[in-house]
Amino acid sequence: MAPVMRDSVAPNHAEQGTAPLMEGICLCKRFGKVTALEGVDIVIRRGEVTGLVGDNGAGKSTLIKILTGVYRPDEGELRFEGQRVEFASPKDARRLGIETVYQDLALIENMSIARNFFLGAEPQRKVGILNLLDVRKMRLVTEEALKDIGIAVRSANDEVSVLSGGERQAIAIGRTMHFGGKLLILDEPTSALSVHETNKVLTYIDEVRKRGLAVIFITHNLYHVYPVADRIVVLEHGRKVGDFAKDEISVDELVQIVSYGAQRVARSARQQ
């Protein structure tokens, strides 16, 4: 089913550069008696990395699942490129160019890098009456696309099983860029990586931003997200308690807010 678009809003071209790519307005989600999200607003812009942080159970994954069509909000609405959208499934969100890369990536171990890169969109070539996979084209395009964002693989014909965690993230990120993604969502991409690998993934994220895509980066590690984020949104018990441009807040202040709670930090600041 195609995503339902409603209330078309004419874009203001003077603001195109800064117009939101996606907005969540007053989003609420309940699971039985648990309120996972309560009145959360979020604005996602092109060419910006939005860090989404908060303690366990804060509502980060629930928010992402609403933006990607896994859940429907109980209240509130979504807008994409100025139009109201309703997603019946993740397919609807993907059709608009919203891609999610999870920590435990859905890459297939014993298949080549190139096959994984093209998964579901394999080019074919005709040989007589047969349609064969165009393996050569897949290899060349994959190597070129990865090189383009600074990712070197020995050969795209190598199996994914030879890749490290960071390289796997890179393949998934490269795939999103190559197939015209507009919003890349990374859920804990660096949590299982070494320092060196983490730095590489952060470089790729920076490259994605430079290409003008919007990125949402979810993590528990504020020291990973802070260097690459343009904005940082803090969730706490399902509510948004902070939405900062990077230059409004230091990483130490952010750590305080996430560790001790926004209210306590504000109270102790008033008392000082």
Query: Which residues make up the interface to ligand ATP (CB under 6 A)?
Result: 31, 34, 36, 54, 56-62
Residue 120 Cβ, how far from ligand ATP at the closest point, in Å?
27
Between 92 and 188, name the residue whose CB sits nearer to ligand ATP. 188
Binding characters for Mg ion, 11-50, by CB under 5 A (x = yes): ----------------------------------------
Binding characters for Mg ion, 53-92, by CB under 5 A (x = yes): --------x-------------------------------
CB atoms inside a 10 Å sphere around CB 30: 15
Closest residue to bound Mg ion by CB: 61
Between 28 and 251, name the residue whose CB sits nearer to ligand ATP. 28
Residue 33 Cβ, how far from ligand ATP at the closest point, in Å?
9
Residue 238 Cβ, how far from ligand ATP at the closest point, in Å?
6
Between 53 and 113, name the residue whose CB sits nearer to Mg ion. 53
Residues contacting Mg ion: total by CB under 5 A: 1
